[in-house]
Amino acid sequence: MALKFADIAKGPNDLLNDDYTTKVSLKCKKAAGPVAVTIETNRGKDGSLSSKVGSKFKYAGLSFDKVQLTADGGNVLETSLVPCSGVKMSFKGNKGADLGVDYTKGSLFATGVLDIKDMSKFSTSACVAVGSGLNLGGNATYALSGKTGVSAFNVGASYTSGPLFASVTTASKMSQVNLGLLYKVNPELSVATSTTHSSSNACDVVGVGGAYTADFGTVKAKVGSNGIISACLIKEVAPKVTLTASGSVAASDLSDFKYGLGLVM
C-alpha cells in the first residue's frame, strides 16, 4: 500500500500527540444536502470566544475541501482535483498559497508543493514500499529566492511486523535521528515511545505513553523528558457526539495543572 512520507511515523506520533490539549473548544458539523458545514469555537485565556465557520463540497469535479472564514478576518481555501488515475492536484491558500500534486502508482507515493505566492520554495517527497511491512522514503526543499539551493533534506523508514511498528526518520538535514516505536499489547492496549538522537544529545526521550480502550471510553497517558505528565479521556457521550477531556501537570510543580475540554458533534 502506498504511504505518504509525511505519515511514515504516524502510529507513535498519533498516540503521543493526538487528543492532548489545553484548549476549551466546541466543534459542530452538519450536512446541508451536498454541503458540509463546520463551526469551531474556542475559548481564549481571557474567557473570550472566537469562531471559525467552514464548509466543504464538490462542484463540476472540483473538490472544495475547506472554505473557511476565521475570527481574525482571514480566509482559508483548500481545493483538490483528480485529473487522471493516480494524480491529485491541490491548492491551499491562507496567509500563503501552495500548489501541490500527489502521485501514486503501486507502492510509490510522491508529492510536490510549490509556493506560488512568494515563489520562495519547492518541496518534494517520495515513499515506496520495498518489502513486507517495510517503507523507505525521503523529502527535500529547494529554495527559489534568497540563498537558492537545497535548504532541507531528510530520509526515513518504517517497519511493521505483527503488533510491532518502528520508524526511523531524520531531521535538521540529517543531523538528528528520531526513533518511534508502537506496540499493540492486545486489542485494547497500545504503548508507544518517541526518542531523538544527535551529536549534542545522545538520547532525549520525547515521550512514553499508552492508550487503553475501555467500556467507558479511551484513556491515554504519557510522560516526557520535560517532566510533563499528561492524560486524556475520549468518550462518545451520545451518538456522533465525542467528548475529549485532557489534563497536564509538571511533576516538579503539581499546582500548575492545565486542562482542556473539547466537544465534537
160-179 per-position pLDDT tens digit: 999 999 999 999 999 999 99
Write down the pTM of the prediction.
0.88
Per cent of the chain over pLDDT 90 is 88
What is the pLDDT at residue 250? 92
Does the pLDDT value for residue 145 go beyond 80?
yes
Residues 6+ apart with CB under 8 A from 201: none
What is the pLDDT at residue 1? 67
CB of 177 within 8 A of CB of 183? no
**Nearest 10 degrees: Cα torsion 250, 255, 256, 257:** 90
> Buried b / exposed e across 206-229, counting CB within 10 Å, b at 16+?
bbbbbbeeeeebbebebebeeebe
CB of 99 within 8 A of CB of 112? no
- Which of the pair, 124 or 71, is modelled with greater confidence? 124
